Amino acid sequence: MITPLADPAVRRVALVRLRVGLGDLLCTVPALRRLRAARPDVEVTLVTFGRMAPVVDRLGGTVDSLLAFPGAPGVPDGPVDPAGWAPFTAAARARRFDLGLQAYGDRPAANRVTAALGARLTGGFAPTGWDPPAGSEALHLRYPLHLHEAARHVALLEHLGLPPGGEAAMDFPVTTDDEAEHAATLAAHGLVPGRYAVLHPGASAPTRRWPVDRYAAVGDALAADGLAVVVTGVATERDVSARVVAAMRAPAVDLTGATGLGGLAALLRDSAVLVGNDTGSAHLAAAVGARSVTVFLPGDPVRWAHPGPRHRALTPTVACAPCPHLACPIEFRCALTVDPADVAGAARELAAP
């Protein structure tokens, strides 16, 4: 049997990527770039929550359209709109997909969503403990727990016929409007490219937030080296950012909620270094070529840490990490074993001229 991505008759592909994290979608870009290079004739539809449209629009032309997902039981990334299910599946079937791929991860609910698209062929990741329907085994890849998130998606597409090898780095396009916003931000706060460090203390889950006092200690250490310190985050993270600024002895510029996504990308790109949690800012930094230090607490660095000399991952020394908890059920011991001096040292090493 010819593999579907090597079959010229496969022209309309739906990628079921029901994630709402910036990093999740950015980690899909290398595989999408490889697909676009190998099969420019393929029309790619990304199936995800509609609120991810601003990020999907930034995926560098690798996605042709978004099919808004209404949520479904067993998919924890967003609310469920039961009334939206029938219109969603009708819209999917009207697109007459040649191939529907479960590109979500290790969760069988995503396979049920993929099957509901009505594609001529259905495949993708086979979650742990779940077996593909008879006859579709070759179209599925057992979810590769041992690989980085970006490598998992490349492996899936290669399994389905994408030519092996080749490079397609993670990236994020910065527009002329983004550059104008960025220039105005730097001028307003007296920031000089390469002479400021960014702290990003927020994260969607409490267990991924390294404590405020530790961020403040790192900020003071970098300020003592002569770097300006900038604190960033989305608007809902203003409280944690304000607490970091208040805990620092040195002054800091708080830009939480003050930049657009493209403006933040440019801010990270021109920084001396980013120090942040295992969250979207770390992946955005990697996508624009910034230097970054990522503090991992429950997150899995095998899956999410970016390789290469411009990135450092600091991990806890506890047996319970990594773990799946969004809120720690014990004393958050992983956060206490990551030393601010080690984080500051890694940041200094990357920021050195």
Paired residues of 253 in beta bridges: 230
Find the largest Cα–Cα distance for the chain. Answer: 66
The 10s digit of each residue's pLDDT in 287-312 is 999 999 999 988 889 899 998 999 99
DSSP designation for 276: E
Q: Is the pLDDT of residue 167 over 70?
A: no
What residue ranges of the chain are covered by domains with CATH 3.40.50.2000?
4-159, 180-351
Q: What is the mean pLDDT of residues 128-140?
A: 95
pLDDT tier for residue 168 given thresholds of 50, 70 and 90? low
Alpha-carbon distance values, 182 to 114, 162, 190, 229, 239 (Å):
40, 38, 12, 16, 23
Angle formed at CA 131 by CA 115 and CA 35, multiple of 5 degrees:
55
Paired residues of 100 in beta bridges: 14, 122
Q: Is the pLDDT of residue 86 over 80?
A: yes
Alpha-carbon distance values, 29 to 4, 64, 106, 260, 306 (Å):
20, 13, 19, 20, 14
Residue 106, both tokens: 């290790």
Paired residues of 66 in beta bridges: 46
Contact 276, 256 (CB under 8 A): no
Q: Is the pLDDT of residue 316 over 90?
A: no
Class of the CATH domain delimited by 180-351: alpha beta
Average per-residue pLDDT for the chain: 94
Q: What is the mean pLDDT of residues 184-202?
A: 98
pTM: 0.91
Paired residues of 275 in beta bridges: 199, 293
| Percent of the chain with pLDDT strictly greater than 90 | 84
C-alpha 203/C-alpha 281 separation (Å) is 9
Least confident piece of the model among 91-95, 175-179, 275-279, 303-307:
303-307
Closest CA to 104 of 145, 56, 54, 48: 48
> Does the domain at residues 4-159 carry the CATH identifier 3.40.190.10?
no
The 10s digit of each residue's pLDDT in 256-265 is 999 999 999 9
Q: Tell me how far the alpha carbon of residue 102 is from its chain's centroid.
A: 17
Q: Please tell me the predicted confidence (pLDDT) of residue 193.
A: 98
Assess whether the previous peptide bond of 322 is cis (omega < 30° from 0). Answer: yes
The 10s digit of each residue's pLDDT in 11-32 is 999 999 998 889 999 999 999 9
Angle formed at CA 198 by CA 300 and CA 279, multiple of 5 degrees:
25
The 10s digit of each residue's pLDDT in 205-231 is 888 899 999 999 999 999 999 999 999
Residue 169, both tokens: 């780095």
Q: Is the pLDDT of residue 315 over 80?
A: yes
